[in-house]
Amino acid sequence: MSSPTLELTCDLIRRQSVTPDDEGCQLLMTKRLSALGFKIHHLRFEDVDNFWAIYGDSGPIFAFAGHTDVVPTGDSEQWSSPPFEPTLKDGMLYGRGTADMKGSLAAMITACENFLADKPILSGRIAFLITSDEEGIAKNGTVKVVEWLEQREEKIKWCLVGEPSSSKSVGDVIKNGRRGSLGCELTVKGIQGHVAYPQLAENPIHKVAPALAELTSERWDEGNAFFPATSFQISNFNCGTGATNVIPGEAHIVFNFRFSTENTAEDLMRRTEEILNKHHLDYTTKWHLSGQPFLTSAGELVEAAVKAIKNVAKRDTQLSTAGGTSDGRFIAPTGAQVLELGPVNATIHQIDECVKAQDLDTLSDIYHQILLKLMR
């Protein structure tokens, strides 16, 4: 079952690139790209390795984007095989990063190798934007490379991110957008005291509870044809000393909005604080905007991807904006058309992460077809 895409995927999996470490994955990739004639820019920001590679001299840029870092394996003893030792069993390839997203990276490389083997006359340029800081805090990865590109006045027209978008079969789902993510750390102040003397204290749990109830029942928007309605979720609530007879002095709540293009981060912050103020709370907020929502509803990239999937995988694809954030959130604001297309995501971040080995070649063929449609 060996193939160039499978072999490269295995070579990448053997490198224990737990975020933000790259462990030589990018050097492996850039060696292959250099041999094709790509010009390589190694970009290290603090402890993060990134690279920008580009082929061609002029014209619109089609960029593959992705990450070499992976999430920790968890207890490796629970894996059926060592997580950084690629293992092929019953047609499945096991290992950390098979789906998220070393298989995609390998498919991107082999797709370019197959495409350029025919020495085509290009109508534009092909690029790679690769980071080792996607699974972590994502502060020194794609966002910094995009800033570097903006300074050089380099504009990506089409960007294909190799995130594992597929649901049951390769290409059955592609992500043509993502919801925005807005988080908040809320601290509500009270007065600590003995539970037997509540008149001498002020319980922050009692004070914040009605406000939280209102926030959770608020209808933030109705969504639209591409996005579900904005959601509000409390992820952490910490309070108290651990003793049963002490009224706490502070309550700490962490919550998150996943929001559609029907809303803005500024509006969500304003409306939240209006509700908090209505309940006369003594509070502080620390907001963190992880990413704005983006949408690529139509255009050459969507058309090329849909046709490539139909030609190679013989199936229709569904456009979706569901799921978490990706590095596409840093690229879309530059004006690029952005899609996410990668392997089946059923086992990502799990013990025994795996993909069908055959899917890797299918994915490479789809990427190759997209290049044919956009670059010739």
Query: Catalytic site residues?
Result: 69, 134
Three-state DSSP class for residue 6: helix
Amino acid identity of 249?
G
DSSP class of 100: I
* C-beta atoms surrounding 202 within 10 Å: 17
Residue tagged 């309605």 (tokens): 229
Q: Which helix (H) or strand (E) holds 62?
A: strand 61-67
Distance CA 36, CA 279 (A): 63
Q: Which helix (H) or strand (E) holds 109?
A: helix 103-116
Quote the distance between the C-alpha of residue 146 and its chain's center: 15
Question: In this structure, are residues 67 and 135 in contact, taking their beta carbons and an 8 Å threshold?
Answer: yes
Distance CA 308, CA 301 (A): 10
DSSP class of 183: E
Name 22's Cβ contacts closer than 8 Å, sequence gap at least 6.
15, 49, 68, 69, 132
φ and ψ at residue 369, rounded to 5 degrees: -65, -35
Question: In this structure, are residues 91 and 2 in contact, taking their beta carbons and an 8 Å threshold?
Answer: no
Distance CA 91, CA 69 (A): 25
Distance CA 133, CA 129 (A): 12
